[in-house]
């Protein structure tokens, strides 16, 4: 079998188009422009790249982008004051604090100081609880992107066996909740799981979110399964710097029914879903109907 390629880059473009057309309607019909504020503390080079990219895509979708750059030695009190101001600013519908924060800042405290309805990363403890109990919440962007691709490929996920490898708060756990919400039978595997190959072999859907280059080989995958590779790992191969996922793409693509590539799979969906969450937050804040197909 040769797997169908799930093209995250193309799919993300369609999500961005939906977002942009909803933004146009919000402006024309209601005079509202959604706004996303991104707070960056320090000068981590990877974070700077992400923040630039988020700002660019936000304005390209017709929304307002507000960037708050703060020094690496910013105090907790100063950062909390910025978040407090954004929480009450009616022009700001989404707030994102770029992680990781410098070590002297308490990440949990900072994230939980964001107004839950503006928490477009979906990391606030209220949103975690709402998602876990099947209520309307802000959903973390990467798992939301994975869910959208799975729904697009399969239609209904009901009754499917899904294995999520990785139990992080950012990807693994919310991914499992979303799959459960779509009536999958869900297994969360992690570093202590016994017989991981045997567990993965049962899966109609495999979501790999580990951070170990090409850890999942094709012979772990059930024939015809759908493989979503969240991993982004930089490796040296043949003297070149390369990005690879957590799945060994070459061997897995021979067995799977469908697979996301790295790069060009889950990655582009993450920012697209951040834009989607910002529009959703804006609609909720204004008591308007949410855009269809952009929420969980
Ligand atoms: P994390 O380090 O927080 O969690 C990794 C998880 O993998 C842990 O729960 C751990 O139990 C599990 N694990 C580690 N070794 C294992 C093993 N040998 N067998 C089974 N499970 C094992 O990582 P994260 O933040 O969830 O990210 C995972 C990967 O996804 C990373 O490569 C990261 O770069 C990538 N990522 C991509 C995006 C995107 O937009 N595409 C977003 C977030 C994370």
110 pLDDT band, cuts 50/70/90, is very high
Q: How far is the CA of 179 from the centre of ligand 1 (A)?
A: 17
Structure tokens at 12: 């993300």
Q: What value does the mean pLDDT take over residues 162-185?
A: 98
170 pLDDT band, cuts 50/70/90, is very high
**Pocket (CB within 6 angstroms of ligand 1):** 142, 165-168, 170-172, 189-191, 193, 196, 209-212, 230-233, 266-267, 270
Structure tokens at 258: 């469908």
User: In terms of pTM, does the model score above 0.85?
Assistant: yes
1 pLDDT band, cuts 50/70/90, is low
Which residues of the chain are in CATH 3.40.50.720 domains?
Answer: 141-268
* Residue 130 and residue 136 in contact, taking contact as beta carbons nearer than 8 Å: yes
> Is 27 one of the annotated active-site residues of the chain?
no
For the segment 253-293, what is each residue's pLDDT rounded down to a tens digit?
Answer: 999 999 999 999 999 999 999 999 999 999 999 999 999 99
> Is 44 one of the annotated active-site residues of the chain?
no
Q: 3-class SS at 240?
A: strand
Query: Which among 143, 146, 197, 211 is the best mutation to test ligand 1's pocket, defined by most ligand atoms within 8 Å of the CB?
Result: 211
CA 107 to chain centre: 18
Which residues of the chain are in CATH 3.40.50.10860 domains?
Answer: 29-118
174 pLDDT band, cuts 50/70/90, is very high
Nearest residue by C-alpha to atom 31 in ligand 1: 211
Query: Which among 49, 146, 149, 168 is the best mutation to test ligand 1's pocket, defined by most ligand atoms within 8 Å of the CB?
Result: 168
For the segment 211-226, what is each residue's pLDDT rounded down to a tens digit?
Answer: 999 999 999 999 999 9
Ligand 1 atom closest to Cα of 265?
41
Q: How far is the CA of 232 from the centre of ligand 1 (A)?
A: 9
- Would you say how long the chain is, in residues? 296
> Domain 29-118 is in which class?
alpha beta
Which uninterrupted H or E stretch holds 45? helix 45-60
For the segment 59-95, what is each residue's pLDDT rounded down to a tens digit?
Answer: 999 999 999 999 999 999 999 999 999 999 999 999 9
* Residue 278 and residue 24 in contact, taking contact as beta carbons nearer than 8 Å: no
50 pLDDT band, cuts 50/70/90, is very high
Provide the phi-psi class of 233: left if phi over 0, else alpha when psi is between -120 and 50, else beta.
beta
In CATH, the number for domain 141-268 is: 3.40.50.720
Q: Which residue has the tokens 């390209």?
A: 60
Structure tokens at 172: 């693994």
Average pLDDT, the chain: 97
Provide the phi-psi class of 121: left if phi over 0, else alpha when psi is between -120 and 50, else beta.
alpha
What residues contact 73, with CB distance under 8 A and at least 6 apart?
A: 102, 104
Give the model's pLDDT for residue 9: 98
Cα separation, 115 vs 124, in Å, equals 8
For the segment 121-161, what is each residue's pLDDT rounded down to a tens digit?
Answer: 999 999 999 999 999 999 999 999 999 999 999 999 999 99
Cα separation, 102 vs 72, in Å, equals 7
């Amino acid at each position: 079998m040769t797997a169908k390629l799930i093209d995250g880059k193309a799919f993300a473009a369609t999500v961005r188009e939906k977002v942009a057309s909803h933004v146009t309607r919000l402006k024309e019909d209601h005079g509202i422009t959604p706004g996303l504020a991104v707070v960056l503390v320090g000068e981590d080079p990877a974070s700077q790249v992400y923040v630039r990219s988020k700002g660019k895509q936000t304005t390209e979708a017709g929304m307002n982008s507000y960037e708050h750059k703060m020094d690496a030695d910013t105090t907790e009190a100063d950062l909390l004051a910025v978040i407090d101001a954004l929480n009450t600013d009616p022009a700001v519908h989404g707030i994102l604090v770029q992680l990781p924060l410098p070590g002297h800042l308490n990440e949990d405290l900072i994230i939980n100081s964001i107004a839950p309805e503006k928490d477009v990363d979906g990391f606030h403890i209220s949103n975690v609880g709402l998602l876990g109990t099947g209520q309307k919440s802000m959903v973390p962007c990467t798992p939301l992107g994975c869910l959208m691709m799975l729904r697009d490929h399969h239609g209904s996920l009901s009754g499917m066996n899904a294995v999520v490898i990785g139990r992080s708060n950012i990807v693994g756990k919310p991914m499992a909740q979303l799959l459960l919400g779509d009536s999958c039978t869900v297994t969360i595997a992690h570093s202590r799981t016994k017989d991981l190959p045997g567990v993965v072999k049962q899966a109609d859907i495999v979501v790999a979110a580990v951070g170990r280059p090409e850890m999942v080989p094709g012979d772990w995958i059930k024939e015809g399964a759908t493989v979503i590779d969240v991993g982004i790992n930089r490796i040296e191969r043949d003297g070149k710097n390369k990005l690879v996922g957590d799945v060994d793409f070459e061997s897995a693509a021979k067995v799977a029914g469908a697979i996301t590539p790295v790069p060009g799979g889950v990655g582009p969906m993450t920012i697209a879903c951040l834009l989607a969450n910002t529009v959703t937050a804006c609609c909720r804040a204004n008591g308007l109907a949410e855009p269809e197909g952009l929420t969980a």
